Amino acid sequence: MGYYVDIIIENAYFTDEVGALKAINAMHDAEVMAKNAGGGSYEYGKAVDKWYSWVKNPNPEGFTSLEDALSAWRYESDRNRNGHLEITYFTGEKLGDDEQLLYAIAPYLNEDVIFTFRGEDGALWRYIIGEDGHLQYQEASIVWE
């Protein structure tokens, strides 16, 4: 089960890697995950354990590098020619709690980043990071002329 997606990532490099790593590790706090994570196990209709869908959780000390954290969320990264860590590719197949990740890291990415999603049913939507890390959501419609 799950909803298959492709993601095109444009111009996504970090301006504050330490802040981004702290933000991702904060997301994995048990109380935060209990409120925000979409995956989990249930018994008798109640959540027994919670995790972010399709994400590898860190060890109890948290992720030690931003590269490892992004990899756990199914994103590849590499250094660009200016030495900034850049998100280059989505390695996952299914949509998980990626929106949660984008909200967490948006303040630490450069402006004008675009994450464009295409769902298995042809749905198109994107997230644009603007000034001060503001994340804007947009849905697309195709018009044939």
pLDDT at 2: 85
Count of Cβ atoms closer than 10 Å to residue 10 Cβ: 12
Residues 6+ positions from 53 with CB-CB distance below 8 Å: 2, 37, 38, 39, 94, 95, 96, 97
Token pair in block for residue 1: 């089960």
pLDDT at 39: 92
Q: Would you write out the chain's pLDDT as a tens digit for each of its 145 residues?
A: 689 999 999 999 999 999 999 999 999 999 999 999 999 999 998 888 899 999 999 999 999 999 999 999 999 999 999 999 999 999 999 999 999 999 999 999 999 999 999 999 999 999 999 988 999 999 998 889 9
pLDDT at 131: 86
CA distances from residue 140 to 83, 109, 126, 143 in whole angstroms, order as listed:
33, 23, 8, 10
Q: Where are the alpha helices (DSSP H) in 1-145?
A: 17-27, 30-36, 66-72, 98-105
Q: On the CB side of 87, how many CA atoms lie within 13 Å of its CA?
A: 31
pLDDT at 142: 86
Token pair in block for residue 26: 């904060």
* CA 108 – CA 50 distance, rounded (Å): 26
CA distances from residue 39 to 3, 5, 27, 54, 96 in whole angstroms, order as listed:
14, 17, 14, 8, 8
**Residue boundaries of the structural domains of the chain:** 5-139
